[in-house]
Amino acid sequence: MTGTSTQRTVIIGGGYSGLMTAVNIARLSKNPMQVSVINTGRPAGRGVAYGTRRPEHLLNVAARNMSAFPDLPDHFVQWLRTRSDFDRMPDQELKERFIPRMIFGDYLKSLGHHYLSTPSMAGVTTTFVEGEAVGVRPLTGGGAEVQLADGRSVGADRVVLACGNEAPAPLPGVDALTGHAGWVANPWEAWHDKLPGDDGTIILLGTGLTTVDAIITLRALGWLGRIHAVSRHGWLPESHFRGREYTDFPPAGVKVEELGLKRLRALMEEHCQKLREMGANPAIVVDKMRPHTQHVWSAFTVEERLEFARRDAARWNILRHRIAPEIHAQVTNAQLMGQLQVHAATIQGLEPEGDRIRVVLDGAEDLHGDLVINATGPQTRFSATRSGLLQRLMADGLIVPDEMDMGVRVAPDHTALLADGQRSPLLLAMGPLLRGTLWETIAVPELRGQARRVAETLTDAPVAPAEDLSALVEFII
């Protein structure tokens, strides 16, 4: 701390991670603190996921697993009970419901208002600063200034990087599409006013969760044209399902974090096959791995992590990040009706063709679209980030990439590590910036624990026991 007896914490990013870190600081701190949340464009808590105003966009996790607090597992369900649209719903039905994401955004807004609109009992005050952070300048006597794009600065003793996901990586030929009316470089920006007529074609680059959002929105808008979706494997997300008890995995006495990649892969494949023979969904094995995933990832060598990312990650993500059954049914219907066609191919390049765009593919015929949306997913090579803030922090030596070049190198308490391995006196990181360190670090069941852990670090609060994810099965009970 410098020049004041009140610790000043600046949180860069006002989405779920940033907001809930501020909320947990207000909950945990026993001393006065000044917290500033720097947020750009969207209301606090309403980042890309929960900023949607489209009711057809549903959470990908049942309500029972969506509490914002690791120590209050029923909090979200109890909050839903305060709304007239859910107050009479049977308890089991409500817990298994996949709620619209915009309602979860309302939930986060209510938490921000409750905990942050007035000072806490300990004297924690929270201010939301609209602006774009572009740098962090350490001061000689300690602390730093967080510099904003408009020339303002915010004083800080500690700075939390809660920046969220990167935009999709640029694709070959994209420079020739600058200004093209049919090109959508960022799927999270408004594109609904660019729709071609019902005799037109829309191409979605990618087949993940963002593509599913786009398909569902097009159907909700009543658009009747052709939709093509393309990715290397051509795999769409799978549905949540009604599960069953399966106690054989992990086998008794087997510590999965000690197996290494090859033995673990063989063990998982063995049990997936066993479940198939029982007529059950093999994704149960992935759910059973969830309490162990971060420990397994930490135990992998760098070579094993790279091999997993190259060979296994696509299939893992399809089984792990599933979608609501009603959303899956709509996507399946679009395929059965012939509106949606999915292609397994590599995107070689993009070329303008007058008002249309050609997508050059390796492994399939080229596609020609009136509107092409880049839904390939966030950029994951950290050293190639297009964030001016992160580029500058790396150039200034304030952060370094992790061994996987997927995010920021950090200590277990989220403190950034410098090139020499020393702990940063200023910076902490969380969320997608920890992908290389933790692998699973983008869903609420992981982020809520991170938000509390970062707050514990900043407030010197006792570290709570790790959340028991073993009870948080993702399949429908």
Domains of the chain: 7-166+380-471 (3.50.50.60), 174-238+322-374 (3.50.50.60), 256-320 (no CATH)
Question: What per-residue confidence (pLDDT) applies to 197?
Answer: 97
| Residue 312's pLDDT band (cuts 50, 70, 90) | very high
Per-residue pLDDT reduced to its tens digit, 70-119 = 999 999 999 999 999 998 999 999 999 999 999 999 999 999 999 999 99
Per-residue pLDDT reduced to its tens digit, 135-185 = 999 999 899 999 999 999 999 999 999 998 888 888 999 999 999 999 999
Residue 216 to residue 199: CA distance in whole angstroms: 18
Residue 2 has pLDDT above 70, yes or no: no
Mean pLDDT of 250-265: 96
Whether the link from the prior residue into 250 is cis, omega within 30° of 0, is yes
CA 60 to chain CA centroid, nearest Å:
11
Question: What per-residue confidence (pLDDT) applies to 461?
Answer: 80
Mean pLDDT score of the chain, rounded to an integer?
Answer: 92
Per-residue pLDDT reduced to its tens digit, 357-392 = 999 999 789 999 999 999 998 888 999 999 999 999
161 forms beta bridges with 12, 429
Mean pLDDT of 332-346: 97
Q: What is the dihedral of CA 138, 140, 142, 148, to 10 degrees?
A: -30
Mean pLDDT of 119-142: 95
Question: What per-residue confidence (pLDDT) applies to 110?
Answer: 96
Per-residue pLDDT reduced to its tens digit, 400-431 = 999 999 999 999 999 999 999 999 999 999 99
Residue 468 has pLDDT above 60, yes or no: no
Question: What per-residue confidence (pLDDT) applies to 48?
Answer: 80
